[in-house]
Amino acid sequence: MLDLAEEAGLVHTSNNSADRANLICNCCPCCCTVLRGRTQLKHPHAFEPSRFEAHVASDECTGCAVCVDERCPMKAIEIKDDVAVVNVQECIGCGLCVTGCPIGAVELVERKHIPSIPATIQEMGAKVLQEKGRLGAFLKIMQS
Ligand code: SF4
Ligand code: SF4
């Protein structure tokens, strides 16, 4: 199923915590509320990128633009001087350009700066509520 989702150009997303994945969602950039948080609402923390970013081997790239036109959900790649160039600020490290490139000219490389992530999904949930200023209200409901 994951292979089919990837082939269809869907982005694998999961909980942003260091324990095991509690879910894997396969998101389309047109109507998924998670992806649209970044693509349309321009909220940089609507979700966090993976710890990888795309890197194009410019000496191999033919400039065919498949990655630009058919694969990148974030519009993070453009063709400059007949070569694909990645804007790493916009890249979420989904890898769709890697699996879509007909000649294997793209790879994922680990980012230099990886933000710390919560140890568990429970910690992640508490952090989200805290950042939204709703942790106190949530705990009150849970204790009632
Ligand atoms: S799909 Fe591959 S060869 Fe085509 S432009 Fe993108 S990186 Fe270059
Ligand atoms: S990994 Fe590739 S397809 Fe995914 S956001 Fe980055 S540049 Fe776009």
pLDDT of residue 63: 98
Nearest CA to ligand 2 atom 4: 94
Q: Where residue 42 falls among pLDDT bands split at 50, 70, 90?
A: confident
Residue 83: band (very low, low, confident or very high) from pLDDT cuts 50, 70, 90: very high
**Owning domain of residue 68:** 49-113
Is residue 123, in this structure, part of any structural domain at all? no
Let me know if residue 121 belongs to a domain.
no
Q: Mean pLDDT in the chain?
A: 93
CA dihedral 36, 124, 53, 86 (to 10 degrees): 30
- Asked whether the predicted pLDDT for residue 44 surpasses 80, the reply is no
Closest CA to 53 of 95, 25, 4, 104: 95
| Overall domain count for the chain | 1
In a domain, 86, yes or no: yes
Asked whether residue 135 is assigned to any structural domain, the reply reads no
CA of 102 to the centre of ligand 1 (A): 7
Q: 72 lies in a domain?
A: yes
Residue having the nearest C-alpha atom to atom 2 of ligand 1: 101
Percent of the chain with pLDDT over 70: 100
Query: CATH number of the domain that 54 lies in?
Result: 3.30.70.20
pTM for this prediction: 0.89
Half-sphere exposure of residue 117: CA atoms within 13 angstroms, side-chain side: 16
Does residue 11 lie in a domain region? no
Give me 92's structure tokens. Answer: 């979420």
**Looking at the domain assignment, is residue 120 inside a domain?**
no
